[in-house]
Amino acid sequence: MTKTAAIIGGGVIGGAWAARFLLNGWDVRLFDPDPEAERKMGEVMSNARRALPMLYDVSLPPEGTLRHVATIAEAVEGADYIQESVPERLDLKRKVYAEIESTAAPDTPVGSSTSGFKPSEIREGLKNPGRVMVAHPFNPVYLLPVVEVVTGEGADEGAVSRAEEILRGIGMYPLRIAREIDAHVADRLLEAVWREALWLVKDGIATTQEIDDVIRYGFGLRWAQMGLFETYRIAGGEAGMKHFLAQFGPALKWPWTKLMDVPELTDDLVDRIASQSDAQSGHRSIRALERLRDTNLVAMMRALKQRDAAAGALLRAHEKTLTPEIASDAPPMVTARRVVPADWTDQNGHMNEGRYGQVFSDAAEVVLAHVGVDAAYIEAGLSYFTAETTIRFLAETLEGETIRVETLVMQGDGRKLRLWHEMKRASDDELLATCNQFMLHVSLETRRSCPPPPEVAARVEALAAAHANVVKELA
């Protein structure tokens, strides 16, 4: 049964929360009094629909239904999860929570996107305060997985655990922070870098672009896959973190930074920062910058997924929960359905020919899993190797398009397995490419062909028999 999320506030963060839920199959009721809310949400969804599916090598669930509602009560009634993302005003948040509490079920988890307030502050005056927690994400919420779940004293463990399960179910990483503190953890780190950057601009040491360059070309890349402490552990060499602290710890007493002071944001400083920022990226619209950001994040996170590292490991784990199984032997079997990611395209703007081979290889693995050639089978020392493929490219396949692969078993006897794949554009069924793939069963110990076990041979033969009539028509 489809679950429902209530999103209170549809701005930059709230709209992206709604997109994350919708694209993971949840229905969403969105309350936002802004008369432009529907237009803005539509633009957020356009970016999210393009970017999030590119992260995965399988299809996401069918998109949920978005409904804009006129009241908070209408949004939260019967909802399975509630996320508040209204502006950072404590009086406004408390008013919103009072309205939520008057209608929502008393055990429904409620998360706040607040970047600064503590749970104890937003719970004040509530009848069921324990089910309210900070659930602070990072933009774009539909791509970045981390969400700081700050509980503080008096939290309802049942509600918090349900919230974490829900967040994991939509591909996020709930980071539990039990002790509350102003600005939580991530924003305190960001604030330190931000303060220092403001001083560097004010003192004329560096421009906004130079500061961004040193981050994106340097330590930002290290942080993206290893964080801070693990990076510095490496910097300590073979002696590790203790050596690093002994070597660089004294520098903490040197007057390098101005973290305890904040430059006054005078009109002159604001104008300087704004003009440098305009020179740096003002030739692009905000939506174009968002699209560029999303494309770059997709490429980086997909690269990390290939290595099963950092955010990529989370992505791979979530993808496993989305991978469908073939329901029956009836031909043709749908063996792949996915969106073409940006990093698969070439200088001509269409999918690189090498990626067609990957799509058909992935489709073949689905067939193999269907007959019992899974990870355990391979671990036991047996598998199928591709000996020959013939791919025909029939039409262009473009970035962001949804494609599917339909597969027939043309031959399945003894050591031999031959598959016929057809890749089609999902929107109009146009045939984009075909692949004739011949495979041999092998021993991973000898690296030579060998007969499959009787149970696998029987499944392969049964598939070939079930597909025989359609294969004859194809010939």
Q: HEC string of the chain?
A: CCCEEEEECCCHHHHHHHHHHHHCCCEEEEECCCCCHHHHHHHHHHHHHHHHHHHCCCCCCCCCCEEEECCHHHHHCCCCEEEECCCCCHHHHHHHHHHHHHHCCCCCCEEECCCCCCHHHHHCCCCCHHHEEEEEECCCCCCCCEEEEECCCCCCHHHHHHHHHHHHHCCCEEEEECCCCCCCCHHHHHHHHHHHHHHHHHCCCCCHHHHHHHHHHHHHHHHHHHCCHHHHHHHCHHHHHHHHHHHHHHHHHCCCCCCCCCCCCCHHHHHHHHHHHHHHHCCCCHHHHHHHHHHHHHHHHHHHHHCCCHHHHHHHHHHHHHCCCCCCCCCCEEEEEEECCHHHECCCCEECHHHHHHHHHHHHHHHHHHCCCCHHHHHCCEEEEEEEEEEEECCCCECCCEEEEEEEEEEEECCEEEEEEEEEECCCCCEEEEEEEEEEEEECCCCEECCCCHHHHHHHHHHHHHHHHHHHHHC
pLDDT over threshold 90, residue 419: yes
Q: Is 261 within 8 Å of 254 (Cβ atoms)?
A: no
Quote the CA–CA distance of 53 and 319 in Å, as a whole number: 11
Judge whether 319 lies within some domain.
no
Domain extent at residue 274? 187-283
225 & 262 share domain: yes
Span 265-312, pLDDT tens digits: 899 999 999 999 999 998 999 889 999 999 999 999 999 999 999 999
Q: What are the structure tokens assigned to 410, written together?
A: 């043309």
pLDDT over threshold 80, residue 475: no
Write down which residue in 153, 183, 213 finishes a domain: 183
pLDDT over threshold 90, residue 239: no
Q: What are the structure tokens assigned to 27, written together?
A: 């229905």
pLDDT over threshold 80, residue 472: yes
In the prediction, which pLDDT does 245 show? 85
139 & 239 share domain: no
Judge whether 314 lies within some domain.
no
Least confident of 227-241, 310-324, 347-361: 227-241
Judge whether 378 lies within some domain.
yes
Q: For the chain, what percentages of helix, strand and coil (3-state, to nearest 5) are there?
A: 50, 20, 30
Span 67-114, pLDDT tens digits: 999 999 999 999 999 999 999 999 999 999 999 999 999 999 999 999
For residue 49, the domain's CATH number is 3.40.50.720
398 DSSP β-pair partners: 350
Judge whether 149 lies within some domain.
yes
178 & 199 share domain: no
Q: What is the DSSP string of 118-168?
A: -HHHHHTT-SSGGGEEEEEE-SSTTT--EEEEE--TT--HHHHHHHHHHHH
279 & 398 share domain: no
List of residues 6+ apart from 105 with CB closer than 8 A = 78
For residue 236, the domain's CATH number is 1.10.1040.10
Q: What is the mean pLDDT of residues 348-375?
A: 96
Placement of tokens 């305190």 in the chain: 188
Span 120-170, pLDDT tens digits: 999 999 999 999 999 999 999 999 999 999 999 999 999 999 999 999 999
132 & 209 share domain: no
In the prediction, which pLDDT does 135 show? 98
Question: Considering its fold, how many domains does the chain have in total?
Answer: 3
In the prediction, which pLDDT does 19 show? 98
Write down which residue in 234, 260, 283 finishes a domain: 283
Q: Is 32 within 8 Å of 9 (Cβ atoms)?
A: yes
Judge whether 156 lies within some domain.
yes
For residue 333, the domain's CATH number is 3.10.129.10
48 & 162 share domain: yes
In the prediction, which pLDDT does 97 show? 97
162 & 216 share domain: no
Judge whether 434 lies within some domain.
yes
**Mean pLDDT score of the chain, rounded to an integer?**
95
191 & 178 share domain: no
Q: What is the mean pLDDT of residues 434-458?
A: 98
Span 204-235, pLDDT tens digits: 999 999 999 999 999 999 999 999 999 989 88
Write down which residue in 225, 254, 283 finishes a domain: 283
Rounded to the nearest 10 degrees, the angle between the axes of helix 186-202 and helix 267-281 is 100
Judge whether 403 lies within some domain.
yes
In this structure, the number of other CB atoms found within 10 A of the CB of residue 149 comes to: 23
pLDDT over threshold 90, residue 261: no
Judge whether 145 lies within some domain.
yes
Residue 322 confidence class, pLDDT cut points 50, 70, 90: very high
31 & 179 share domain: yes
Q: What are the structure tokens assigned to 271, written together?
A: 């104008």
In the prediction, which pLDDT does 240 show? 85
In the prediction, which pLDDT does 249 show? 83
164 & 237 share domain: no
277 & 261 share domain: yes
211 & 179 share domain: no
In the prediction, which pLDDT does 164 show? 98
If residue 353 lies in a helix (H) or strand (E), which one and from where to where? helix 353-370
Three-state secondary structure call for residue 250: helix
